[in-house]
Amino acid sequence: MADTAYSLAPKPEGATGVLVLSDGHVIWGRGFGATGEAVGEVCFNTSMTGYQEVMTDPSYAGQIVTFTFPHIGNVGVNEEDLESLVDGALGAVVREDVTAPSNFRSKGDWGQWLADKGKIGLSGVDTRALTRRIRKGGAPNAVIAHNPDGQFDIAALIKRAQDWPGLEGMDLAKLVSRHIQEGWEGSTWTLGSGYGQSPSDERPHVVAIDYGAKDNIFRNLVKAGARVTVVPAETSLDDVLALQPAGVFLSNGPGDPAATGIYAVPVVQGLLERDVPVFGICLGHQILGLAAGAKTSKMFQGHRGANHPVKRLGDSVVEITSMNHGFAVDNTCLPDTVEETHVSLFDGSNCGIAIKGKRAFGVQYHPEASPGPQDSFYLFEKFVGMLG
């Protein structure tokens, strides 16, 4: 089958999948994974590895991920590389067909894993062209669909994409957050041994608010010397304080921070008033900014990948970071109480803040994702060092 074109041309022979954009563009391909259809925002990720972690990252809820690297799925899947058991990305768009897995850690085929998880895949797509389109026109709403017999109602799919309201104004954190409080027991992973267990010694107690957290964040908090209790996104200030935290962590997550902030911001403001140490990552960073009086806005195309350079303003050190965000703290109008600590070297957007006079800071990127690979672990040590 020929490479996909952006047109309303007739369906190519052998097409069993399709991506239909809200502007009417139809992108044909070969469906794999789950059958059916899903509607969301199309984004692109530039990572060469970690597709299983990407697909299980709750921050991708409501999104269809285009992988710019052509060979996705070729090392299979395993149970150790999941970031969460809740829903992450809706589907995946890739260049090459998924081949049989070739890796000593593989426990299964990625296409079958997608099917088991109810996620749709689309291969045979010119992902470079799609990525250029997103860069020029912004991240579009779309429907991804897979039908083995190749029959699709394109007009209905276009309408569904057009009717979807988009991520702006959408609170997804409460949909992907855990619903019960639990103590975190795992630690970091080592080859041959898997994940370790959290030490039982007396450690500073961190309460982590789960807005759609990646499990590896909690493991790194343990590695840095903390004892972690994870609570749901909508946990009240009184309930957080009742756990007597030495510090509070604000996790990553999906959706519009302003929408999640309706219930999250008052909690964080209460923590800041009591000078409780606070550390936020991604959505948690944005919530911290809102609590301090900053504003957030939706980005044109977002930042997603494992190769994003970020400048640390205090000493001009550049960190190579992993990112996944479509919203950002607006650094053009920061209040006097907020210090900008990190910026993206791609576009100058905000990537870190500290609250003046408080033991509170946040970063937009993911220090737990080993992008550098160890460029950013110091942030966990910095936070735990604040806890006494």
- Catalytic, 234? Answer no
Q: Which of 53, 83, 146, 282 is catalytic?
A: 282
**For the chain (length 388 residues), average pLDDT per consecutive 10?**
49 94 96 98 95 96 97 94 91 96 95 96 97 96 98 96 97 96 88 82 94 94 96 98 98 98 98 98 98 97 94 97 96 97 98 98 92 85 94
- Catalytic, 43? Answer no
The whole domain housing 67 covers 17-163
Closest-CA residue to 45 (of 3, 4, 95): 95
Q: What is the value of pTM for the model shown? A: 0.95
- Does residue 308 share a domain with residue 211? yes
36 contacts: CB under 8 Å, gap ≥ 6:
118, 120, 145, 146
6 contacts: CB under 8 Å, gap ≥ 6:
25, 26, 27, 129, 133
pLDDT tens by residue, 326-384: 999 999 999 999 999 999 999 999 999 999 999 999 999 999 987 767 889 999 999 99
Q: Which of 37, 41, 83, 368 is catalytic?
A: 368
- Does residue 83 share a domain with residue 204? no
**Residue pointed to by tokens 């957080």:** 240
- Catalytic, 179? Answer no
Closest-CA residue to 36 (of 153, 156, 160, 147): 147
The pLDDT assigned to 344 comes to: 98
- Does residue 222 share a domain with residue 263? yes
What is the number of domains present in the chain?
2
Amino acid at 306: A
Check if the beta carbon of residue 66 is closer than 8 Å to that of residue 127. yes
Of 136, 163, 190, which one is at a domain's C-terminal end?
A: 163
**Nearest-angstrom CA–CA distance, 269 and 176:** 23
- Does residue 210 share a domain with residue 99? no
Q: Which of 285, 308, 342, 366 is catalytic?
A: 366
- Does residue 340 share a domain with residue 380? yes
**Nearest-angstrom CA–CA distance, 251 and 262:** 16
